[in-house]
Amino acid sequence: MENKNVLLRDIYTYLIIILGFYIVFVLFSSLPSFNYFHLTVFILLTFAFSLFETVLPSGMYINLAYPLLMGVFLLKGPAVALMAVIPALVASGIRRKKPIRILFNIAQLALTFKLASLVFTALGGEAGMAIELSRDWPLLLTTIFALNVFNNGFVSTFFALDKQENLWKIFINSLITDVLKIIPIYYTTGILLAVLYQSQGIIASVLISLPLISVFFIMRDQEVIKKTRQEALTDSLTGLYNRRFMDVWLEQHFQDFVEEEKDLAVLMIDIDDFKNVNDEYGHQAGDLILQELAKTLKSNLRVADVIFRYGGEEFVIMLPRTSKIEAVTIGERLRESVASMEVEGMRITVSIGLACLQEETLEKQTAYELLRQADRAAYTAKYEGKNRVLVHTQKQRFLSSRPGLK
């Protein structure tokens, strides 16, 4: 399956390159008239501003050159805009040591500019037309929005094939969640650049672009703050939520399950004989086991389930609205997936303790009592022989699986 996705990604990449460079040939075969000095200024600005780059939450790169390109596109059309950005794209590809991405980025931008120019023309626009903001703002906004949609569509498709994720989810995330943060200032700057260039010349266009540098540093600082907050709630080794966030999650949600009498199951997962792994193979091997285990557990959970690294070799999974029988099934699936997992010749098993909120009991359980019950069940699973799922009952008895539930 993975090889199939890689093949599809490569086919898509080379298809875009072939189509894109055909468009490049068509565009450059009929270049409009332009001022070479002004084009040089735009090339230098685009190159300089492309160095101010940040990564959006979706994983896509964004830099300060885009507003400039929007303005040049509105002023001179797709061919000149492409000429202005090619040096920056080449430098970016060399910097990241990804030569094929140079060709892909040039090609997908050529396709983006061409499609957006078709929208511009269909709405009554003409390359080099005198822009009157009070009259043409719907045309300008629609064209820039179309340009952004096409660009995100091409890039999102590549990301979806490369990461083996849902295309629609990536596209919507990049178009709405990410781009809404920057669209107002980017759209405004691109349009104002085009308007001021026609009325005030190249210097005014340069000046209107400079405040974007401040916007970049504000965006970057916000991302640093967000990343710092995220790191405070996640385990750096496995990427899972940490115990601190588990406390926050329980504080926010546990009482709702109690009051609404909804099912909540808790799995306590403990690696069997993990100390032996560290002693025999070393702590780096142990870290690798923890990382692969985290991936395996997470890949076998539902969207609503929440997994935490509890500490050391222990993991906790919250299963909202899950009955005991359903939780046992999930626990067994996790246990079997881990038992079949192999990491560089190493194999492990896990003991899993299960506790459920909606048990018949005379006293209300607290969140931490529920955790203690799951922990005791996991401890007993180890005592009984490991590699099994044990279900805690209110009478302090346990149901055991070895490897099937007894």
Map tokens 């260039």 to a residue. Answer: 197
DSSP string, 151-203: HHHHHHHHHHHHHT--HHHHHHIIIIIIGGGTHHHHHHHHHHHHHHHHHH-HH
Q: How does pLDDT run across 342-398, given as a tens digit for each residue?
A: 888 889 999 999 999 865 553 567 888 899 999 999 999 998 889 999 998 755 444
Residue 347 CA: distances (Å) to CA of 115, 289, 301, 328? 53, 9, 21, 23
Mean pLDDT over 330-340 rounds to 94
Mean pLDDT over the full length of the chain: 83
Kindly list the structural domains of the chain, giving each domain's residue range(s) and its CATH number in brackets, ordered by start.
2-231 (1.10.1760), 243-400 (3.30.70.270)
User: Count of CB atoms within 10 A of residue 358's CB?
Assistant: 16
Question: Which DSSP state fits 135?
Answer: H
Kind and range of the H or E run holding 53: strand 53-55
DSSP string, 33-93: P--HHHHHHHHHHHHHHHTSEEE-TTS-EEETHHHHHHHHHHHH-HHHHHHHHHHHHHHHH
Q: At what angle do helices 65-76 and 36-50 cross, to 10 degrees?
A: 160
**Helix segments in 234-242, DSSP class H:** none
Query: Contact, 309 vs 294, CB < 8 A?
Result: yes
With CA atoms as reference, report the closest residue to 116 among 66, 58, 166: 66
Task: Indicate if the pLDDT at residue 133 is higher than 70.
Answer: yes
Query: Contact, 332 vs 243, CB < 8 A?
Result: no
Q: How does pLDDT run across 18-71, given as a tens digit for each residue?
A: 999 999 999 888 877 778 888 888 888 888 888 777 666 555 666 778 888 888
Q: Count CA atoms within 13 Å of residue 158 on its CB side.
A: 19
Query: What does the pLDDT read at residue 196?
Result: 84
pTM of the predicted structure, to 2 decimals: 0.57
With CA atoms as reference, report the closest residue to 37 among 201, 191, 258, 180: 201
Q: How does pLDDT run across 265-286, given as a tens digit for each residue?
A: 999 999 999 988 888 888 899 9
AA letter at 128:
G
With CA atoms as reference, report the closest residue to 68 among 177, 185, 168, 175: 185
Mean pLDDT over 86-113 rounds to 86
Mean pLDDT over 129-156 rounds to 86
Query: Contact, 403 vs 351, CB < 8 A?
Result: no
Which pair of tokens denotes residue 139? 């045309």
Query: What does the pLDDT read at residue 405?
Result: 41
Task: Indicate if the pLDDT at residue 7 is higher than 60.
Answer: yes
- Interatomic CA distance for residues 134 and 136, integer angstroms: 6
Query: Contact, 280 vs 270, CB < 8 A?
Result: no
**Helix segments in 179-268, DSSP class H:** 183-200, 202-209, 211-233, 243-259
Query: Contact, 265 vs 272, CB < 8 A?
Result: no
Question: Is 60 or 291 the better-scoring residue by pLDDT?
Answer: 291
Map tokens 């995330």 to a residue. Answer: 173
Strands (E), 253-336: 264-271, 306-311, 314-320
Q: Find out whether the peptide bond into 138 is cis, omega within 30 degrees of 0.
A: no
- Interatomic CA distance for residues 215 and 227, integer angstroms: 18
Q: How does pLDDT run across 215-274, given as a tens digit for each residue?
A: 777 767 776 777 777 777 888 899 899 998 999 899 888 988 888 778 899 999 999 999
Question: Is 389 or 175 the better-scoring residue by pLDDT?
Answer: 389
Query: Contact, 190 vs 209, CB < 8 A?
Result: no
With CA atoms as reference, report the closest residue to 240 among 269, 220, 260: 269
- Interatomic CA distance for residues 139 and 156, integer angstroms: 25
